[in-house]
Amino acid sequence: MEDKDFLSGPASINIEEVMQEIRARLANSEISSKVSEINSFEAVHRLSDSVERLNEMVMHNNQNWDIDIDFPITSHRKFLGPVISLAKRIVRKLLRWYISRPWEQQIAFNASVMETIQGIAEEAKQGLNDAEKNKSKMMDELKHYIDQNVKDMSDKLGAISERTRRTERSLKDQVINIPGKDCPTSTATATPSGENLIEFDYFMFEQRFRGSCEEIKDRQRVYLDYFKDKHDVLDLGCGRGEFLELMRESGISATGLDSNQNMVSYVRDLGLDVKQVDVRTYLKDMTTSVDGIFAAQLIEHLTPADMVSLIRICHDKLDHGGILALETVNPTCLSVFAESFYMDLSHIRPVHPATLAFVLEQEGFTNVQTLYLSPFPDAEKIPNLPIEGADEFNAGIQRLNSRMYSYRDYAVVGEKI
pLDDT tens digits, residue range 100-143? Answer: 777 677 777 777 777 777 777 777 777 777 777 777 777 777 77
Bin 67: left if φ > 0, else alpha if -120 < ψ < 50, else beta.
beta
Query: What is the predicted pLDDT for the residue at 332?
Result: 94
Rounded CA separation 37/31 (Å): 10
Q: What is the mean pLDDT of residues 353-367?
A: 96
* C-alpha closest to that of 220 among 415, 356, 411: 411
The domain ranges of the chain are 4-163, 194-415
CATH domain 194-415 topology: Rossmann fold (3.40.50)
pTM tops 0.85: no
Query: What is the predicted pLDDT for the residue at 15?
Result: 57
Amino acid at 400: L
Query: What is the predicted pLDDT for the residue at 276?
Result: 94
Q: What is the mean pLDDT of residues 9-14?
A: 48
CB-based contact 252:227 (threshold 8 Å)? yes
Long-range Cβ pairs for the range 310-315 (8 Å, 24+): 310/236, 310/279, 310/280, 310/283, 311/359, 311/360, 311/363, 312/363, 313/280, 313/283, 313/284, 314/283, 315/363, 315/364, 315/365, 315/416
How confident is the model over 395-409, as pLDDT tens digits? 999 999 999 999 999
Which range of 5-14, 32-41, 57-66, 169-178 scores highest in mean pLDDT? It is: 57-66
